[in-house]
Chains A and B, each alone.
Chain A
Amino acid sequence: MAVTLDAQLLEILACPSPDHAPLTPGTPDDPAADALTCTSCGRTYPVRDGIPVLLLDEATPPTNGEPDTDSPDDSSSDGA
């Protein structure tokens, strides 16, 4: 079932990553999926029983080829 969130609500929901980019319904592969996809970082968030789960921990990373430039976790770690 497609996401049936109110259009006004969709306008104000934002990705919980630091750039707060707008979200679009569905996933890149399935626009009718119960999910919201970030228009900037490409993360996909589930919508369960009408509840958008906007948690970075529960996001699906973008499918290959899409940039993920704003992830706070992507900076080179370990100081290596």
Chain B
Amino acid sequence: MARSFDDLLAEAAAVPVAGWDFAWLAGRATERRPSWGYQRLLRDRLAAASSALDVQTGGGEVLAGAAPFPPVQAATESWPPNVAEAARRLAPLGGVVVASTDEPPLPFADGAFDLVSSRHPATVWWDELARVLRPGGTYFAQHVGPATMFELVEFFLGPRPQARLLRDPETEAADARAAGLEVVDLRTERLRAEFLDIGAVVYFLRKVVWTVPGFTVEAHRDRLRALHELIRRDGSFVAHASRTLIEARKP
């Protein structure tokens, strides 16, 4: 028997949402992965590097999965709970976590690294990345792309034409060039995501808090009920995540 709206909401509002493990959504939501396989490509680049930095490493999950590390592997993170978790995960692999802000300056010398990586950085400071790269060094990253999950965003917030223009890959490439880097790879993919019940939507919006800023079950109950009815009618709600792969070289 189908579970009630109130039941699904109560369950999804109570479940813990810390960290970046989405296993709770198994069987209730899906999201395609980018075809390029960021972690595998990062592993190849780490294998060729002598000194690498991972910026905004989060809990270090993605970087750890790309080990082994070069002789010098540093990672920065600003959120204290993530700093501790990343250190626990990366130290046994030879990585050193540095607590820093997400804003310039990075606490590293000029030309310190031949590889700087990042997955889903909240902000990208191109001049600063170029500064810590040595000549011939590479910035390799997966960024959140333009208008990610906007079907979901606009269902709750209404049309957001200005926000749709943010994170444009061509703009990012132009910013990289302006900082003196050569863009050697630039790809963007739209990735189908599907929510099979309203509880999965609530879980996602609680966890990925910037999707619908200030989201709470109480404040968005009417829209949640409308979306619940839509999922009941159509079988699912489909949105699209957006990701950009960018590789830029310092001449």
Contact = CB atoms under 8 A, between A and B. Distances in A.
B107 interface: yes
B100 A12 contact: no
B72 A51 contact: no
- For the residues of B in contact with A, the DSSP-based class is mixed
Interface in A45-80: 49-55
Contact of B72 (A12, A49, A50, A54): A12
Contact of B101 (A5, A52, A55): A55
Interface residues of A, number: 21
A29 interface: no
Interface in A9-63: 9, 11-18, 20, 22, 49-55
Nearest to B97: A51
Interface of B: 51, 71-72, 74, 83-84, 87, 91, 96-101, 105-110, 112-113
Interface of A: 5-6, 8-9, 11-18, 20, 22, 49-55
Given A11-B109, A50-B91, 9 more contacts: A13-B108, A14-B107, A14-B108, A14-B109, A17-B105, A20-B107, A51-B96, A51-B98, A52-B98
22 contacts: A6-B72, A8-B51, A12-B108, A12-B113, A13-B98, A13-B109, A14-B112, A15-B107, A16-B107, A20-B105, A20-B110, A49-B87, A50-B91, A51-B83, A51-B96, A51-B98, A52-B98, A52-B99, A54-B98, A54-B107, A55-B100, A55-B101
